[in-house]
């Protein structure tokens, strides 16, 4: 099953602008500001949960635009795409529709850390996202720039706690109210663009930044701490001007692997996929970087840029004389442009041309659009709850680059979760959190809200403690069932499919376990497999499947009567068998964290007067971040294991006291005499 064909772009524009001019409602449950990767997922998720939703974005034709590299997924990021898909988000299906070069990265390592990735056709991706939004019930899309938030004064009983009640469109033209607002303004908040020594206001080339009013309200009225980050993008190169015969050819996988659990194949047939090419920098590139440094304002700034996707200037300065990879990637099936990944740069355009011509395959290349840098404000994400709601402001949710992340996948994942929670908040349902024990999305959000960011944050598999359990192959079982049963963002079609898969896998695993044979009998059944076990030991089919040389197909052809019904799941069963032991080992640790996660820390705790032994520094960190659970507190930088024990004891003690009071037991005296810190409870770390 492949996603339905998207509507042509033109049709989307006509229908959206018609809706915009007829904006009937003046009140919505949820308003999402920004139609980038976070905003589109947020709007679609909020509507799926059941909220009347309005998406307001500066330019409708840029909805779903890939501002930088037209690619999706990769190591760590591919896991996020699969999880967004499992929660019924858009980007996985859009990637399958628009993909032109599919590959699984990290194949030399275990399948838990494989990174599904695809190079995309920009136009097709946008068309798909726009078409999906248009056909989403309860969602209205409007073109416009949000000038400011509508904010009520704090309630005298909750000092400092404002409530967001809607938005005002540019030029004071219209105010629209909503129970919750999701801000997903990306790099547009006080955005400045840099090329050479020229700086101009902008969120992206060709796009104005967000209004100053929005930044001012966040900073001054709502009192949020704001930081500044930067990123950059390479020049786009005219394809015909590049001699690709001088670069290495990189072929896609012979069998494309779809991102979406609903798609059994991609739109692009294996033979229609396009190659990518790999080239390298030369000493001439280093020379041009050095000669242009005094003309390059962006590189001279102190603001932090993306460490893992650095500009060519940063690479040359950090690793002088080193040969750097330059990937020459197609921008689409019919596009005349190439994207030179690895050559993000901000020097003047004439120097950019000199630099690219120092690379053999590009010795006569022409630049279509120069590279540029952008600096922007972000909101320090420790001010958010795990629902991505601003802690001190009711009804305001933030997602995407505004929270200090970089990347489409990180933005999409947060967008989906903020949209879900904004809708639940608006519909008076409790907000929900994802744990780092169940998803990479949980890891991402927990890292942001507990630790904050000091540089643009991107996902890596190494950030997840439970990689063996959080695999790309099982995201549907981890999230689609929960997404339907507990969260409300998953359709019944996807849910039914996940239930079918879960039941089939359980049956197949039971059938494999039931196949218990002695080693000598296994040898007879699988004569080509080298089995070194002791003579009379008995092994199950599931044990056998853990051997590198044993495939599910081999077992199914030896026992067709009980296994052939499950051939469709052969790869998933193999992976399940390989990681079974490891997952069982992790189970205890996961249960411990889940217990700690259930121990919530009251949001109104006065950390400065807690009668426990905490240093001033620890109190300040806890007061600033206000972790929502004990588990989140353990991950804060600067919080010692001893501090966690004291906190545990205190919260545990207060909980007991409260429970006793609730039961109306007359043991108040005993409780008063009890010293919270004196309990000798130690927490495993």
> Which residues in this chain contact ligand FAD in the complex, by CB under 6 A?
33-39, 56-59, 62, 67-68, 145-146, 184-188, 203-204, 207, 210-211, 214, 231-233, 306, 309, 374, 400-401, 406-408, 411
3-state secondary structure 627-685: CCEHHHHHCCCCCCHHHHHHHHHHHHHHHHHHHHHHHCCCCHHHHHHCCHHHCCCCCCC
- Closer residue to ligand FAD (CB): 399 or 578: 399
What is the rounded distance in angstroms from the CA atom of residue 187 to the CA atom of residue 191? 6
Q: If you ran DSSP here, which 8-state letter would residue 235 be given?
A: P
- Closer residue to ligand FAD (CB): 55 or 550: 55
Minimum distance from residue 481 beta carbon to ligand FAD (Å):
27
Helix, strand, coil share of the chain (percent; to 5): 45, 20, 35
215 sits in which H/E element: helix 212-216
Tokens 């409007």 appear where?
142
Minimum distance from residue 329 beta carbon to ligand FAD (Å):
13
Minimum distance from residue 427 beta carbon to ligand FAD (Å):
24
Q: Any residues with CB less than 8 A from the CB of 101 and at least 6 apart, and which?
A: 118, 119, 252, 273, 274, 275, 276, 329, 330
What is the rounded distance in angstroms from the CA atom of residue 432 to the CA atom of residue 425? 10
Minimum distance from residue 399 beta carbon to ligand FAD (Å):
7
Residue 193: closest CA among 232, 235, 227? 232
- Closer residue to ligand FAD (CB): 33 or 289: 33
Contact call for residues 397 and 182 (beta carbons, < 8 A): yes
- Closer residue to ligand FAD (CB): 394 or 406: 406
Minimum distance from residue 41 beta carbon to ligand FAD (Å):
8
Partnered with residue 183 across adjacent β-strands are 33, 398
- Closer residue to ligand FAD (CB): 62 or 241: 62
What is the rounded distance in angstroms from the CA atom of residue 74 to the CA atom of residue 95? 12
CA distances from 356 to 165, 268, 305, 312, 335 (A): 50, 31, 22, 11, 20
- Closer residue to ligand FAD (CB): 111 or 452: 452
Token pair recorded at residue 286:
């280093």
Minimum distance from residue 39 beta carbon to ligand FAD (Å):
5
- Closer residue to ligand FAD (CB): 102 or 188: 188
- Closer residue to ligand FAD (CB): 395 or 627: 395
279 sits in which H/E element: strand 276-280
Minimum distance from residue 177 beta carbon to ligand FAD (Å):
16
- Closer residue to ligand FAD (CB): 390 or 601: 390
Minimum distance from residue 187 beta carbon to ligand FAD (Å):
5
Minimum distance from residue 80 beta carbon to ligand FAD (Å):
11
What is the rounded distance in angstroms from the CA atom of residue 233 to the CA atom of residue 206? 14
């Amino acid at each position: 099953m492949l996603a339905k064909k998207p509507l042509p772009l033109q049709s989307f524009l006509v229908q959206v602008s018609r809706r915009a001019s007829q904006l009937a409602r003046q009140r919505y449950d949820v308003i999402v500001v920004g139609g980038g990767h976070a905003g589109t997922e947020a709007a679609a998720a909020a509507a799926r949960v059941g909220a009347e939703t309005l998406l307001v974005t500066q330019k409708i034709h840029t909805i779903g635009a890939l501002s930088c590299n037209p690619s999706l997924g990769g190591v760590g990021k591919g896991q996020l795409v699969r999880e967004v898909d499992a929660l019924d988000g858009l980007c996985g299906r859009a990637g399958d529709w628009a993909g032109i070069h599919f590959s699984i990265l990290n194949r030399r390592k275990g399948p838990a850390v494989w990174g599904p990735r695809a190079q995309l056709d920009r136009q097709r991706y946008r068309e798909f996202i726009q078409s999906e939004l248009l056909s989403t019930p309860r969602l209205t899309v409007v073109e416009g720039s949000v000038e400011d938030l509508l904010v009520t004064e704090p309630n005298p009983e909750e000092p400092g706690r404002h409530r967001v009640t809607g938005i005002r469109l540019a030029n004071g033209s219209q105010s629209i109210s909503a129970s919750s607002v999701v801000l997903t303004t990306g790099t547009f908040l006080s955005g400045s663009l840099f090329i050479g020594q020229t700086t101009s206001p902008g969120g992206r080339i060709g796009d104005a930044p967000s209004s100053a009013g929005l930044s001012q309200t966040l900073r001054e009225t709502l009192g949020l701490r704001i930081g500044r980050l930067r990123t950059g993008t390479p020049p786009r190169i005219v394809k015909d001007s590049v001699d690709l015969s001088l670069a290495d050819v990189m072929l896609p996988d012979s069998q494309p692997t779809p991102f979406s659990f609903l798609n059994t194949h991609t739109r692009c047939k294996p033979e229609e996929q396009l190659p990518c090419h790999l080239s390298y920098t030369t000493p001439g590139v280093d020379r041009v970087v050095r000669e242009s440094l005094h003309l390059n304002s962006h590189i001279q700034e102190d603001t932090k840029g993306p460490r893992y996707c650095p500009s060519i200037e940063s690479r040359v300065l950090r690793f002088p004389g080193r040969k750097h990879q330059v990937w020459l990637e197609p921008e689409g099936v019919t596009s005349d442009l190439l994207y030179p990944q690895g050559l993000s740069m901000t020097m003047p355009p004439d120097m950019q041309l000199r630099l690219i011509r120092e690379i053999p395959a590009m010795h006569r290349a022409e630049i279509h659009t120069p590279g540029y840098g952008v600096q922007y404000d972000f909101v320090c994400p420790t001010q958010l709850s795990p629902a991505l709601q601003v802690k001190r402001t009711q009804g305001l949710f933030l997602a995407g680059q505004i929270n200090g992340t970089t990347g489409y996948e990180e933005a999409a994942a947060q967008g989906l979760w903020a949209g879900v929670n904004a809708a639940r908040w608006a519909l008076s349902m409790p907000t929900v959190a994802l744990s780092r024990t169940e998803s990479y999305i949980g890891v991402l959000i927990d890292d942001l809200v507990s630790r904050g960011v000091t540089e643009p944050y991107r996902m890596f598999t190494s950030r997840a403690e439970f990689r063996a359990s959080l695999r790309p192959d099982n995201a549907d079982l981890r999230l689609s069932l929960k997404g339907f049963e507990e969260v409300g963002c998953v359709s019944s079609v996807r849910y039914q499919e996940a239930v079918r898969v879960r039941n089939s896998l359980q049956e197949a695993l039971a059938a494999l376990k039931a196949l218990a044979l002695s080693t000598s009998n296994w040898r007879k059944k699988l004569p080509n497999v080298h089995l070194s076990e002791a003579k009379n030991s008995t092994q199950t089919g599931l044990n056998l499947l853990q051997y590198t040389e044993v495939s599910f197909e081999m077992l199914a052809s030896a026992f067709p009567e009980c296994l052939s019904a499950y051939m469709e799941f052969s790869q998933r069963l193999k992976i399940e068998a390989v990681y079974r032991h490891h997952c069982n080992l992790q189970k205890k640790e996961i249960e411990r964290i889940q217990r700690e996660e259930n121990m919530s820390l009251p949001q109104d705790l006065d950390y400065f007067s807690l009668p426990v032994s905490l240093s001033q520094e620890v109190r300040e960190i806890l007061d600033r971040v206000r972790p929502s659970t004990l588990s989140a507190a353990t991950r804060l930088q600067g919080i010692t294991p001893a501090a966690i024990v004291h906190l545990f004891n205190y919260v545990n003690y207060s909980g007991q006291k409260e429970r006793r009071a609730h039961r109306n037991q007359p043991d108040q005296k005993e409780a008063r005499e009890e010293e919270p810190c004196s309990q000798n409870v130690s927490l495993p770390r």
